[in-house]
């Protein structure tokens, strides 16, 4: 089976490039929001667990910053592994790197008061989060593919009539 990959090599107009850059930024920010809320949930549970009903704004700012930076890293350096077609060795490696960075920042910024078990739990939680995001995107693509094929059949039937 021959695979024909088509790549665009022509010069794209500035307006189109700006729109594309904007779409990329929106994509990164949306995912940053998603990861931030997941991390915030774990952090809030931890705070409640230690009997505190306060969350530090500084910690939240650090969380936002790290997920935003990691959003860029995932987009440009890690092939957007959480949106990928497969979840193989390379994706697992990318995921582990992301988890390691988050764990490092959480220890450095003292999100969990350097509690070992809470930090280990955070790492496990992040693994589940990354894999869940991958599954969510996979399901969304399957739904989109189903709609695309329905549209294709409708197009071909319209033409036959």
Residues that bind another protein (CB under 8 A): 1-10, 12, 16, 20, 80, 83-85, 137, 141-142, 144-145, 148-149, 151-152, 154-156, 158-159
CB of 148 to another protein, least distance (A): 4
**Angle at the Cα of 43 from the Cα atoms of 126 and 96, rounded to 5 degrees:** 20
CB of 142 to another protein, least distance (A): 8
CB of 82 to another protein, least distance (A): 10
Q: 1 or 14, CB closer to another protein?
A: 1
Secondary structure, 3-state, 62-124: HHHHHHHHHHHHHHHCCCCHHHCCCCCHHHHHHHHHHHHHHHHHHHHCCCCCCCHHHHHHHHH
Q: 54 or 158, CB closer to another protein?
A: 158
H or E, element range at 57:
helix 57-76
Interatomic CA distance for residues 157 and 92, integer angstroms? 43
Q: 62 or 82, CB closer to another protein?
A: 82
Q: 84 or 121, CB closer to another protein?
A: 84
């Amino acid at each position: 089976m021959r695979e024909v990959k088509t790549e665009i090599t022509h010069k794209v107009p500035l307006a189109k490039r700006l729109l594309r850059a904007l779409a990329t930024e929106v994509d990164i920010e949306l995912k940053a929001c998603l990861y931030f809320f997941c991390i915030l949930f774990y952090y809030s549970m931890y705070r409640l667990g230690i009997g505190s009903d306060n969350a530090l704004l500084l910690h939240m700012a650090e969380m936002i910053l790290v997920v935003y930076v990691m959003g860029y890293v995932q987009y440009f350096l890690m092939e957007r592994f959480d949106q990928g077609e497969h979840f193989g060795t390379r994706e697992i490696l990318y995921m582990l790197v992301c988890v390691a960075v988050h764990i490092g920042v959480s220890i450095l910024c003292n999100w969990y008061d350097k509690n070992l078990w809470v930090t280990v739990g955070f790492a496990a939680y992040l693994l589940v989060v990354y894999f869940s995001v991958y599954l969510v995107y996979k399901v969304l693509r399957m739904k989109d593919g189903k709609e695309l094929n329905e549209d294709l059949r409708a197009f071909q039937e319209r033409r036959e009539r």
